[in-house]
Amino acid sequence: MSIRFHGTTKENAETILKNGFRPRTYFAQHLEDSLVMGGNYIFWVWLPEAEKGWEYISNKRILPNRILTLRKFNVQKIYFSDKVNRLVKRQFFKEQHGKFKFCTKCDGRGQLEKRDLLERGTKKKLTACPKCQGFGCLRPDGKRFNEN
- Three-class DSSP category at 104: coil
pLDDT for res 58? 87
Give, for all 148 residues of the chain, the pLDDT tens digit.
589 999 999 999 999 999 999 999 999 988 888 887 888 899 999 988 877 777 888 889 999 999 999 999 886 665 666 666 667 766 766 666 666 777 777 766 666 655 444 444 445 555 667 677 666 666 667 666 656 5
Among 8, 36, 47, 48, CA closest to 110: 36
Q: CA angle 47-24-16, nearest 5°?
A: 70
* Spatial distance between the Cα atoms of 59 and 51, rounded to a whole number of angstroms: 12
Instruction: Supply the pLDDT for residue 135.
Output: 64
Where are the alpha helices (H) located in the chain, listed in sequence order? 10-19, 31-37, 82-97, 114-117
CATH tag, 3-72: 3.20.170.30
pTM above 0.85, yes or no: no
CA atoms of 144 and 3, how far apart (whole Å): 29
Contact in structure between 45 and 3 (CB atoms under 8 Å): yes
What are the residue ranges of CATH 3.20.170.30 in the chain? 3-72
Distance CA 25, CA 57 (A): 6
Half-sphere exposure of 29 (CA within 13 A, CB side): 9
Distance between CA atoms of residues 14 and 90, nearest Å:
33
